Amino acid sequence: MEPMISVNSSPTQCTSLSPNAPIWQDILAQAMTGEILAAMNYASLSEICDDPAEVADALEHAQGERGHAAAFAAEGHKIGVNVTDNVDAKHWKRLREAFLRCIAERDFIACLIVQEIMLESFAVASYSRVGKVAPGSLGKTFARIAAEEEDHVDHAMSILRAERARDTQRFDDKVYRLHLDVMTTLAQMLAKECKDGNCEVCHASCVKPSLFEVSLSAAELRGASLQQYLKTLDMLGVPGEVTLTWVTQLPV
């Protein structure tokens, strides 16, 4: 398991972003947890790759995700809050377990679908939206990382398109199976209410009701993320009338 990253120094006095610093702290904690999870996933992926170039590529991606996590931690430090990750939080743990099932099957393509198509779609969309409303360097950091995550998706697209071309039905069936496993959890994370209790990442109460104070909402982030996901599936060639049905069946 990759080491967790956190800012261990005592919080300093919040200044420019006060009183919204606690909201940004929770947003950063969710983003940082996602980046640490991604680093762990890429490190695991490197262990099932046979091609040395693929191993090196997966390890490079893992290092990049750790860099993103460190950048989020640094942004928290700037506004006087500690940002910590929790990859064992209920939703993130389920996502990690779904990825590890693909690793256990040594299914390289399934791993790419989960990480590059599903998880990265949520990262690209949500980080882009946060980047537009967050002030100063915080917004710039989210926007920069969103762009870098989008490059990951582009990198995987040619591999996945080629795989789909070999057996379209088999590929689409695999995507749907993973959709039920992974996207259900992601949708629950951005549901209007946390119906099954605290997410175990927010530091106090759930941050969702407070998002409007920083010009965000769970509904908006969910909508943007699902739209990005549908766009990515469309780029792969999966029929839109099929994927739209998949998305409408997700929990709200």
Per-residue model confidence (pLDDT) at position 17: 52
Q: Which long-range contacts (CB under 8 A, 24 or more apart) does 41-44 make?
A: 41/96, 41/99, 41/111, 41/114, 41/115, 41/119, 42/115, 43/2, 44/99, 44/100, 44/103, 44/111
- Supply the mean pLDDT for the chain: 89
Taking only the tens place, the pLDDT of each residue in 46-74 is: 999 999 999 999 999 999 999 999 999 99
Per-residue model confidence (pLDDT) at position 247: 95
The model's pTM: 0.89
CA distance 64 to 78: 21
Q: With pLDDT > 90 as the criterion, what percentage of the chain qualifies?
A: 79
CA neighbours within 13 Å on the CB side: how many for 162?
A: 7
Taking only the tens place, the pLDDT of each residue in 117-175 is: 999 999 999 999 999 999 999 999 999 999 998 877 777 899 999 999 999 999 999 99
**Which two tokens mark 54?**
């693929």
Cα 19 to the center of its chain, rounded Å: 27
> Which one has a higher pLDDT value, 192 or 231?
231
pLDDT at 6 > cutoff 70: no
Q: What confidence tier does 14 reach under pLDDT thresholds 50, 70, 90?
A: very low
Per-residue model confidence (pLDDT) at position 198: 78
Structural domains of the chain in order of their starting residue, each with its CATH number = 21-248 (1.20.1260.10)
pLDDT at 27 > cutoff 50: yes
Taking only the tens place, the pLDDT of each residue in 192-226 is: 777 777 788 888 788 888 999 999 999 999 999 99
**Which two tokens mark 188?**
């629950």
Among 174-178, 179-183, 200-204, whose mean pLDDT is lowest?
200-204
